[in-house]
Amino acid sequence: MYRILIADPLHHAALEVFSEAGAEVHELTGEERPRLQEVVVDYDAIVVRSSTRVDAGVLRAGRKLKVVGRAGIGVDNVDVAAATEMGVLVVNAPTANLLSAIEHTFALLLSLARNVSRADASLKAGNWDRKSFVGVELQGKTLGIVGFGRIGQRVAARAAAFEMKVVAYDPFLDPAVAERLDVELLSLDELLPVADMVTLHTPLTEQTRNLLDGDRIRSMKPGALLVNCGRGGVVDEAALLRALEDGHLAGAALDVFAEEPPQSFDLMRHPRVVATPHIGAQTREAQERVASDTARMVLDALGGSMTVTAVNLPFRPAGGRAEPYLKLGEQLGSLASGLIGGSLRRLQVDLWGVEEALRVPVTVASLKGALTPFLGGGVNYVNAEKVAESRGIEVVRSTHHHGGEYPHLVEIRLEGEGGRTVSLGGTLFAQRDPRVVSFEGYRLEFRPEGILLVLTNSDVPGVVGRVGTLLGEAGVNIAEIHLAREDDRDDAMAVLRLDEQPAPEVLAALAALPEVRTTRVVELG
C-alpha cells in the first residue's frame, strides 16, 4: 500500500482517486508544516500545488520518496535537478487546465479590447460615460502568438472563429504543424512589428526570461495590445510600463507576473492595464481535473508506468507501445552486466528499425539494466544517465536502417574493466515478447529471464549429457536448454534456464569438466 503526503490543499477528486486505489493519504496540517522534513520521511510520494517548496532538503529527508506530484503545470517550487540526482520522478498535470487558460486568454483580450474593466468601474462609480470607452474589434486583426504549443495552437483555433489572422513564433515547432493549422510561422523579430495583438504562451526558462525586453517591446506595432496569460518573467515589466506611459502600446492584459504576489503595483494600476491575480487555471472544472489527473499520475508512477507525464525523464513518454521495448532494453543490459561481473566502462547501443520516439528510452533502459546489478534500486530511468556520468561510463547510441531478418533489433555491447566485453542482440516477438536472438556472435534464441547458466564449451559430442547429469545429481532441474555453434568455430555455447541457483561446488564441478571453457550464472527478474 502506497503512502501519500498531500502538502497543499487539493480538490477532493484527488482524495477519491487515492482512496479507490487503496493508498494511505495524509494531509499536512498547519502545525506540521514547519516540520515537513520530519513528516515526509516515511512517504512514497508527496503532492504539492504552488505553496510548498520541495527542495533538496525535503527530497533528502524523504528517504522513501519515489514521486513528487505537482498539481498544476509549473514546477518552479520543485528542485527538479535534485530530484533527478536522487532518482525521484517529478510528475505534473500539464493538460488539465489548458482549456481554462485558453478561455482566460480571450477573457483578458476581449476585456482589454473593449475596455470592459474600466467601463465597469466607471459605471459602478455612478457615471454614465460611453464616449471614453471606445474599443476595437478582433475581426480582421492580426494576432501574434508567441509559443505555439498545446495552448498556443488552441488559441489560434479560437482566434479563427473571430476571423483574425494568426501569425506565430516557436523555435521548436515543425513548420508542417503551422502549415496544417493555416498559421504563418515567423521569427519573433518579424512577428512583433506586424501583430495588432500579441499573446504569450511560452514557458519561463533562462532563454525566455525577459524575452520581450525594452527593444522588442519598442519594435511592436504602435498601438498594439499585449496579453500575458502564460508565465511571469517573460516580459520586462519596467519596459512594458514605460511603453504604456508614453503611449507606444495601447494596453496590456496580465494574469502572471515576474514576482507573485508583486511588491509594486504600479504596472497593475495603470489605466490601460487589465490585471488578474494568476487565475488562468482557477475554474472549478480545471481544479478538479488537475487534482484527479495528478493523483492518477502519481499512482501510475509509483506502479512503474513509463507513460506518465514526467518533467525529469530523459525522454518523452511514448505510450504503451514503449513498455515492451523498455523491458527488452533493461533485460539485455542486466544480462550483459551480470555476465561482465565487474565495473563498467562503456555501453554501446545499436538500433535497427526502432522508431525515433523509442530510441532514447531503449538506450536509457539498457543503461538502467546494466547499472542495477551493482546499484540495486538506487538507479532508475530518471537518474541512470546521471549515475553513468558520475562514474565515467561512456554511453553511445547508433541508429541504422532496417536490415536483416528481424524488423526491429536492439544490440548492446558492454565493456568492463580490463577490456572484457559482452555483446547481445534482442528483439520483440509479436511486439511484446522480449527475446535474445544473438549472443557473442552466436545465433540462438531465448527469453532473458530467470536463472540462466551460460556455458561455452568445446564443440564435441557428449557435453550436454555430462552437464545435465552433473546438474541432475545435484538436484538442479533444467527448465530449458538452448544450444548454438558456428561452422567456422571450434567451440559452442549453451544457455540453460534452471529452476534454482546451483551451489558454488556445483559450478566448480561444471567448470572442471575438460570440455567446458567458461561458466557463468545470471539471475534476471
Three-state secondary-structure class, residue 268: helix
What residue has cell string 519598442? Answer: 218
Which residues does 371 contact at the CB level (< 8 Å), separation at least 6? 333, 337, 344, 379, 384, 387, 388, 393
- In order, the DSSP letters of 153-214 are HHHHHHHHHTT-EEEEE-TTS-HHHHHHTT-EE--HHHHTTT-SEEEE-----TTTTTSB-H
Tell me which H or E stretch contains 216. helix 214-219
Alpha carbon distance 507, 176 (integer Å)? 61
**Bridge partners, 497 (sequence order):** 452, 480
Q: In what order do the strands lie in the sheet with 67-70?
A: 24-27, 3-6, 45-48, 67-70, 89-92
| Long-range interactions of 424-431: CB distance < 8 A, separation 24+ | 424/332, 424/335, 424/336, 426/328, 426/331, 426/332, 427/328, 428/324, 428/325, 428/328, 431/321, 431/324
DSSP state of 410: E
Alpha carbon distance 185, 174 (integer Å)? 10
Write out the three cell numbers for 1. 500500500
**β-pairing verdict for 251-254 and 225-228:** parallel
Write out the three cell numbers for 173. 515547432
Amino acid at 32: E
For residue 261, cis peptide bond before it (omega within 30 degrees of 0):
yes
Q: How far apart are the first and last CA of the chain?
A: 22
CB–CB of 324/361 below 8 Å? Answer: no
Amino acid at 368: K
CB–CB of 123/100 below 8 Å? Answer: no
Amino acid at 105: T
Active site residue ranges: 231, 260, 278
Amino acid at 187: S
CB–CB of 153/181 below 8 Å? Answer: yes
CB–CB of 521/454 below 8 Å? Answer: yes
DSSP state of 497: E
What residue has cell string 487546465? Answer: 97
